[in-house]
Amino acid sequence: MQIGYLSTLYHTSFQIKNIQTKIQGNTLEWKLFSTGPAMLEAFSSGEIDLGYIGLPPVIIGLSRGLKLKCVAGGHIEGTVLVATEEFDSYNNSTDIDSLISQFKGKTIGVPSKGSIHDVILRKITAGTDIQIKNYPWADFIPSALQDGAIDAGVGTPALAVASSHLASTHIVIPPNFLWPWNPSYGIVSSEDLINQNPEFIKDFLVNHEKMCNFIKNSPIQAAEIATKELGIKDVNFGVEIFKISPGYCASLPPEYIESSLKFVPELQKQGYIESKFNKSDIFYTEIIKEVHPENHHYK
């Protein structure tokens, strides 16, 4: 079975790769991608059956005719804005607009167009003269901040920690204020796999949920596995990442789905899609309801 994944350290892909080689007799073959939009191309060509991906790219893929469904959640509020110390940061008395206004005439780096981070950044900077610079790999953004090529960066908690180490940045707007409950990533399946082998998906999601809990309850051990996989020597780097936005769960509660659907009009406004999509177009919830019948534990 072909599974697409990203280099995002808090995804359960690294944990599952460490403990499982087969599920339901199917060998797990993992393919690394730079961004969610790049993963869509692999879904399109049939290279992968399952993937770890943000929901906005999936919606864009659906608009292009891809037959995909989100079958589980994974993490929420995985987008953060960071900048160097000269810029003010969020507190309970400030709003996003006032914080964004300090970047007028500046440049903010973000992963590729169509990524969840790019869509959120374009929404909060609409109507300003802020320049947006897209990078094919999020890993390039901390170096760009260090070199002064950009003034701020938007991306995952991993980007926030890397930037703080490399460029002495701080969090200007934390994840839960940029877009509450945003679907940082979910587990997305081809419709063919759902129809032909739902038992594989079920067993995969059982492992996925276990590893979501493992990251929450044993962050040091989870960080040891993920950092080793990525060739990072500092385990504390991984622990720092886990703490920034600790919303890990496999379920698909109403809050996750409603936040995802709010991206549809925004994607239309930004010109990524033309058609409207509803819950049943994007989500297939039957399997995760069986795997995770209890209340969610994102928060």
CA distances from residue 171 to 82, 136, 143 in whole angstroms, order as listed: 4, 22, 16
Report the candidate in 251, 232, 290, 236 with the shortest Cα–Cα distance to residue 73: 251
In the predicted structure, residue 125 carries a pLDDT above the cut 80 = yes
Amino acid letter for position 46: G
Give residue-wise pLDDT tens across range 47-74.
Answer: 999 999 999 999 999 999 999 999 999 9
- Domains in the chain, ordered, with CATH? 2-76+182-291 (3.40.190.10), 80-178 (3.40.190.10)
Confidence of residue 91 (pLDDT cuts 50, 70, 90): confident
Mean pLDDT of 92-110: 90
The pLDDT assigned to 36 comes to: 84
pTM score above 0.85: yes
CA separation for the pair 113, 299 (Å, rounded): 29
Percent of the chain with pLDDT over 70: 99
| 239-274 pLDDT tens trace | 999 999 999 999 999 999 999 999 999 999 999 999
Q: What is the mean pLDDT of residues 31-56?
A: 92
Burial of 97 (0-12, 13-18, 19+ CB in 10 A): exposed
CA atoms of 248 and 78, how far apart (whole Å): 10
Structure-model confidence comparison of residues 137 and 155, the more confident one: 155
